Amino acid sequence: MASIFQNCEAAERNQNASADTFAAKAERGNDLGAHITPDGAKIPLVRVFEEFISAGDTVTGSKRNYEASLNKNIKPYFGDRDLGSVNPADIQGWLTWMREQGYEDSTTVVRYRILSSVFNYAVNREYIARNPCHRVKVKQAKALRKSKKKIQIPTLEEIGRLAVELPEQLQLLAWLMCGCGLRIAEALAVTSGQFDFEEGVLYVDRQIVADGENEEPRTRTQRAHTRGRGRALRIRHLKWRENDEGREVPLSSSVGRKVQEHIKRHGTFRIEEGRNRITGDYLFTNISRTNIMSLAYMDKVWGAAVKAAELSRSVKKHWLRHFFASAALSRGVAVNEVAEWLGHTDPKVTYGMYAHLMPEAPERLRSVMDSIFEELDGPFLGTAAQPSRSTARTTCPAPSSAVTSAASCRARCR
C-alpha cells in the first residue's frame, strides 16, 4: 500500500511539474503574443490539416491539391502524430524522405510551404506557440533555379506546325496562348464580348475548371457516372480575383484578324447563366458543338496534334504562354507590364521565372546610359580639357534633368 501511495504521490508531483512547466511556457507565450491552448498540442496533425483544408474560402482546386499532399505526403510519414510532438528535426526528416521517394526539389518546396501554412494556422488557432517549419532551412532558391531551367520556349515554326494539326475550330487556341499569354483554361473560356478590336484589347475574366457541382443523379446509370467525381465542368471567374475583376491584355492586329476570321467561319456558342455557367457567346466548344470543351478531352486533342506535327520534342500547352512572356521580355517590355498581362499578382513571380531569358538586359542598360551621358559636355566624362578656376563658373554645363540638378551642378563648379 505504501508503495502504491508513493507511486500515486510521485505521479501527482510529475503532473504538477508538467502543469507548472506548461503554465510557464504559456505565460512566456503570452508575453510574446503566442497563446497556447492546453489541449491544442495533443490534437493529431492530420486532423488539424483537415481542419485547415475545410477552413476559409479556399478555391476547390487548391483544396484538392491540399488533400493530395495530405494523403500522399503527410499521412504516410507522420501517421497519427500529435501536433505538438512535431519538431524541426521531424520536418527535416520528412523533407529527406520525400526526396528519397523521388520527388523533385520544387515539389518538396511546395509541400513544405503547405505544411508550414498548416502550422501557421495552428499557431493562429492557439493550438501551439510556434511553427516548427520556421527553424528548418529549405533550399527554395536552388529549387527555383532548377525549375527555371525546365522552362521550354517553343519556336514559332513549332507553334505553326502544331496549330495546323489541331481541329480547325480549335486552331485559334494556339495563337491566343502564344500571342496573348493565356492559360489553356482561360483560352477555352474566351467569348466574343471580351474583344475590343478597335482598341486592340482582350479582357480576360473567366476560365474553365473541372470542380463544378454535379446535378443530382436520378437513374442508376447517372449515379454510376457521378460516383466519386464531383468535378463537373464549370465556367468561373479568375482564381484569386473578385467576380467583376479581370485583366486587360494587348491584342495585336495579327491575332485580332485570326479571331475575327474564326468567328466568321465557326460562329459562337451561346451559353446562359446557370449551374456552373456564366453567360456569354463562347468561341470554343466540344467537337459536336453541344457543350464547352472538356479539359481532359483537350489534352487528348493536343497530344494527337503534337504527334501528327512530328516535332522533335513534345510541346506542352503551357509552353506557348512561355513564348509570349519570353518574346515580350527579350524585346525590352517592362517586367511589371508582362506580369499584369500574364495574370501574376506579383512581378517577382514573373522575374523569378523569366529573368534568365533576358541576357541582353545589361547591354540595353549600357546603351541607355551612354545615350544619356553623350548629351553632356566633356567635364562630366573627362574627355575635354578641364577649365581653369577663373573660368569654371562660366563653363558649367547646363544641368540635365536626367542626370543632375542645378544645385549639384553649382557644387561641382565651385
For residues 208 and 234, the answer to whether their CB atoms sit within 8 Å is: yes
pTM, full prediction: 0.62
Does residue 401 sit within a domain?
A: yes
For the domain that residue 92 is a member of, what is the CATH number?
1.10.150.130
Beta strand pairing call for 206-212 and 232-237: antiparallel
Q: Examine the domain organization and report whether 99 and 129 are in the same domain.
A: yes
- Cell match 520556349: residue? 153
Question: What b/e readout covers 199-229, taking b as 16+ CB neighbours within 10 angstroms?
Answer: eeebbbbbbbbbbbeeeeeeeeeeeeeeeee
Q: Examine the domain organization and report whether 248 and 368 are in the same domain.
A: no
Q: Examine the domain organization and report whether 161 and 298 are in the same domain.
A: yes
Domain boundary among 101, 119, 148: 148
Does residue 234 sit within a domain?
A: no
Our measurement of the distance from residue 334's CA atom to the centroid of its chain's CA atoms, rounded to an integer in Å, reads: 19
Domain boundary among 148, 170, 195: 148
Greater model confidence, 90 or 363: 90
- At 240 the pLDDT is 60
Ramachandran angles phi, psi of 132, nearest 5°: -65, -20
Does residue 109 sit within a domain?
A: yes
Beta strand pairing call for 201-204 and 247-250: antiparallel
Q: Examine the domain organization and report whether 140 and 95 are in the same domain.
A: yes
Is the pLDDT reported for residue 19 higher than 60?
no
Does residue 111 sit within a domain?
A: yes
Q: Examine the domain organization and report whether 204 and 309 are in the same domain.
A: yes
Does residue 10 sit within a domain?
A: no
Q: Examine the domain organization and report whether 272 and 134 are in the same domain.
A: no
Q: Examine the domain organization and report whether 172 and 296 are in the same domain.
A: yes
Q: Examine the domain organization and report whether 39 and 182 are in the same domain.
A: no
Q: Examine the domain organization and report whether 166 and 143 are in the same domain.
A: no
Q: How far apart are CA 226 and CA 249, in angstroms?
A: 37
Domain boundary among 312, 338, 357: 357
For the domain that residue 282 is a member of, what is the CATH number?
1.10.443.10
Question: What b/e readout covers 87-103, taking b as 16+ CB neighbours within 10 angstroms?
Answer: eeebbbebbeebeeeeb
Does residue 395 sit within a domain?
A: yes
Domain ranges, residue 306: 156-209+244-357
Note the pLDDT tens digit of each residue in 120-168: 999 998 899 999 998 887 765 555 555 555 678 899 999 999 999 999 9
Note the pLDDT tens digit of each residue in 21-80: 544 554 554 443 344 566 888 999 999 999 998 886 555 567 778 888 999 999 999 999
The residue ranges of DSSP E strands in 241-333, in sequence order, are: 247-250, 269-271, 280-282
Ramachandran angles phi, psi of 281, nearest 5°: -100, 100
First-to-final CA distance of the chain: 100
Q: Examine the domain organization and report whether 177 and 316 are in the same domain.
A: yes
pLDDT class of 342 with cuts at 50, 70, 90: very high
For residues 69 and 100, the answer to whether their CB atoms sit within 8 Å is: no
Q: Examine the domain organization and report whether 346 and 294 are in the same domain.
A: yes
Average pLDDT value for residue range 76-100:
93
Q: Examine the domain organization and report whether 115 and 165 are in the same domain.
A: no
Least confident of 8-12, 231-235, 266-270, 364-368: 8-12
User: What is the number of structural domains in the chain?
Assistant: 3
Does residue 127 sit within a domain?
A: yes
Ramachandran angles phi, psi of 237, nearest 5°: -70, 165
Work out the mean pLDDT of the chain and round it to a whole number. Answer: 77
Does residue 175 sit within a domain?
A: yes
Residue 400 DSSP one-character state: -
- At 269 the pLDDT is 94
